Amino acid sequence: MATERVLSTQSTSTDEPQNWALRPTRLSEYIGQAELLERLRIAIEAAKRRKEPLEHLLLHGPPGLGKTTLAHVLAQEMGTKVVLTSGPALARGTDLVASLTRLQTGDILFIDEVHRLPIAVEEFIYPAMEDFRIDVTLDGGLSARTVQVRCKPFTLVGATTRAGLLSAPLRSRFGIVHHLKYYSHDELLAILRRSAAMLEVPIPDPAALSTIAARSRGTPRIANRLLRRVRDYTTVRADGRLTAAVVDAALKLEGVDPLGLDDLDRGYLRCLGTTYNGGPVGLEALAATMNEDPGTLEDVVEPYVLQIGFLARTRRGRALTRAACEHLGLACTPQAEGLFDEPTV
């Protein structure tokens, strides 16, 4: 995509420097994900008592829900540091060696997009996770020899948006596996309140933050980004007074509707609703009509429209639900209605 979507769950170029300041640094500041936090509190306490590193942890779930943040928080709680890398960055086993040998006892190695770890590297990682050693083959051909490199006991924190793509042997080596859920309205509100205080945004109207939370698609990264956009708008157009009406105007300008849908989402739903009469239609056909990449639609648009019950994924393809037709003001087709009871794929 040429333009950066304000609703993108991916971190955009303007996000990172700003987000650092807003990132929770302790577990007590980390909002939501109650079950996960409870599991981690127990794991941290147990590891500390035994003077061992934390168990290897696999976090999976949609982007922007706080996986990277959590890796930093865990290091902070354990009094250790975190080394960041990602699946695609580790092309060869030796790349992994470089990361591993930088680790001190108890440090956290965070591997983002762990499902994109090349198979060759995955094999190096097994002995590293289990016995804290890596077998490296030096030179090729006749003079090849294997050296064993030891590393300090560490904790691997893997993050992935696609847990299904992870190999079974890798998955089974994580002691704790947890799926991060979308945040509730109240949790997003709490995050926004905290961020607003940190950004020193005065909020006279409590409904203002609620309006932002409702459009954040259950995602803290989006909530914080919308807050920053709204703050800019408020400064320039509304004398710094942040009210629900100002939020409405600011987000309308960004093309974000009351449900948190933007032009791309609406374009997708409209295409399905008009060109394909509500479906069912295959993703490929839909993508071709919209001149979009099917993968983009699947990763960027569909998770949220599925979650709010606007889309049904059936064996025969994608179909609009009645709620979507009503939201878009389209005549709903009986065809789509009949598909609701079909198993989704």
Ligand X SMILES: Nc1ncnc2c1ncn2[C@@H]1O[C@H](COP(=O)(O)OP(=O)(O)O)[C@@H](O)[C@H]1O
Q: CB 86 → ligand X: shortest distance, Å? A: 11
CA 141 to chain CA mean position, Å = 43
- # residues near ligand X by CB under 6 A: 18
Site residues, Mg ion (CB under 5 A): 68
Neighbours of 222 (CB within 10 A): 24
For residue 221, give the 3-state DSSP assignment. Answer: helix
Say whether residue 234 binds ligand X (CB under 6 A): no
Q: Between 19 and 234, whose beta carbon lies closer to ligand X?
A: 19
| Angle (deg, nearest 10), helices 206-214 and 185-198 | 120
Q: How far apart are CA 219 and CA 222, in angstroms?
A: 5
Considering 5, 9, 15, 67, which one is annotated as catalytic?
Answer: 67
Q: Between 8 and 234, whose beta carbon lies closer to ligand X?
A: 8
Q: How far apart are CA 222 and CA 64, in angstroms?
A: 7
- Kindly give the residue spans of alpha helices, DSSP state H, lying in the chain: 15-22, 34-50, 67-78, 93-101, 119-131, 168-171, 185-198, 206-214, 220-237, 244-253, 263-274, 283-290, 294-296, 302-307, 322-328, 334-338
Active site residue 67: yes
Considering 68, 155, 219, 314, which one is annotated as catalytic?
Answer: 68
Say whether residue 201 binds ligand X (CB under 6 A): no
The one-letter amino acid at 337 = E
Q: Between 37 and 47, whose beta carbon lies closer to Mg ion?
A: 37
Q: Segment near ligand X (CB under 6 A), from 59-67, 263-271, 288-296, 323-331?
A: 59-67
Q: CB 121 → Mg ion: shortest distance, Å? A: 19
Active site residue 112: yes
Say whether residue 114 binds ligand X (CB under 6 A): no
Say whether residue 279 binds ligand X (CB under 6 A): no
For the chain, the distance separating the N- and C-terminal CA atoms, rounded to the nearest angstrom, is: 27
Options 6, 7, 31, 297; binder of ligand X; rule CB under 6 A: 31
Active site residue 161: yes
Say whether residue 24 binds ligand X (CB under 6 A): yes
Say whether residue 217 binds ligand X (CB under 6 A): no
Considering 15, 107, 112, 262, which one is annotated as catalytic?
Answer: 112
Q: How far apart are CA 116 and CA 131, in angstroms?
A: 23
Say whether residue 191 binds ligand X (CB under 6 A): yes
Q: How far apart are CA 317 and CA 252, in angstroms?
A: 32
Considering 69, 155, 161, 219, which one is annotated as catalytic?
Answer: 161
- Residue whose C-beta lies closest to Mg ion: 68
Say whether residue 53 binds ligand X (CB under 6 A): no
Q: How far apart are CA 225 and CA 221, in angstroms?
A: 6
Q: How far apart are CA 214 and CA 188, in angstroms?
A: 8
Say whether residue 64 binds ligand X (CB under 6 A): yes
Asked whether 217 and 9 are in contact (CB, 8 A), the reply is: yes
Q: Between 68 and 211, whose beta carbon lies closer to Mg ion?
A: 68
Q: CB 287 → ligand X: shortest distance, Å? A: 24
Say whether residue 216 binds ligand X (CB under 6 A): no
Say whether residue 87 binds ligand X (CB under 6 A): no
With 0-12 / 13-18 / 19 or more C-beta atoms within 10 angstroms meaning exposed / middle / buried, residue 146 is: exposed
Options 32, 87, 106, 280; binder of ligand X; rule CB under 6 A: 32
Considering 221, 225, 228, 231, which one is annotated as catalytic?
Answer: 221
| Interface with ligand X (CB under 6 A) | 19, 22-24, 30-32, 63-69, 191, 220-221, 224
Residues that are catalytic: 67-68, 112, 161, 221
